[in-house]
Amino acid sequence: MQRDFLGRWLTTLTVSFMPIRPVLQLGNPVLRKKSVKVEDPTARETRDLIQNLADTLSHWRSVTGYGRAIAAPQIGELQRIIFLKLPRAEPWPLINPEIIESSQEKIVVWDACLSFLSIAMQVERHRQVTVRYQNLSGETLQFEAGDEHNVSELLQHEIDHLDGILAIDRVVDVKSICTREEFEKRYRDASPYAVAPATIKS
């Protein structure tokens, strides 16, 4: 009985003070692990985890100016959940997301990651992908992502995290890797996020 009370009290306390969680940095072996499927998207723990992702992302965004999305393994939770917060858009949690279709056509884009914010690099992505996922009510939904707002490459980046794959694994040419400062100075102005899509024959 006493334990029940303590448990409830602790839950209330945790919910009232949603912590901004540390973002694991490159070299932490947890970032290389495969995440497990979320069995119950409607569970309280799922909701809490998504709230933590939202709080952590918003903190990083306000401090660094970077961060449109985050994946659960980046805060040390090996669950198949990603969370997007695009400018002027509603928060968008995707539970158990999977790419069910991807275009043959690929593009080369600038990429960055909250787990190694000091460098930027050019990576190869599919131009379009179709993602199937569940929402917090457990409904299965589908989303076709194309060039708009670079959502396609963003979803590919985040879903990769769930399989322990990082943007540096997708670098096309290691010579494109540059420091954040050089990226800002040389490339960001000309192209806020992506370089002019270069089509790669595949």
Interaction site with Zn ion (CB under 5 A)? 113
Active-site residue flag, 158:
yes
Are the C-beta atoms of residues 71 and 78 closer than 8 Å to each other?
no
Residue closest to Zn ion (Cβ): 113
Q: How far is the CB of 72 from Zn ion (least distance, A)?
A: 11
| Residue 10 CB partners (closer than 8 Å, separation 6+) | none
Q: Which is nearer to Zn ion, 33 or 42 (CB)?
A: 33
Minimum CB separation of residue 113 from Zn ion in Å reads 3
For residue 147, the minimal CB distance to Zn ion (Å) is 20
- To Zn ion, the closest distance from the beta carbon of 2 in angstroms equals 43
Q: Which is nearer to Zn ion, 38 or 113 (CB)?
A: 113
Which DSSP string corresponds to 158-185? HHHHTTT--GGGGBS-GGG-EEHHHHII
Counting Cβ atoms within 10 Å, is residue 153 exposed (0-12), middle (13-18) or buried (19+)? buried
Q: Which residues are CB-contacts of 176 (< 8 A; sequence separation ≥ 6)?
A: 121, 122
**Under 8 Å between Cβ of 70 and 23:** yes
Residue closer to Zn ion (CB basis): 42 or 99? 99
Closest CA to 61 of 90, 20, 19: 20
Asked whether 126 and 152 are in contact (CB, 8 A), the reply is yes
50 or 113: CB nearest Zn ion:
113
**Secondary structure letter of residue 149 according to DSSP:** G
The distance of closest approach from Cβ of residue 7 to Zn ion in the complex, given in angstroms and rounded to an integer, is 34
Question: Pick the catalytic residue: 105, 124, 158, 181?
Answer: 158
Nearer to Zn ion, 34 or 44 (CB): 34
Cα separation, 138 vs 187, in Å, equals: 41
Query: Catalytic residue positions?
Result: 158
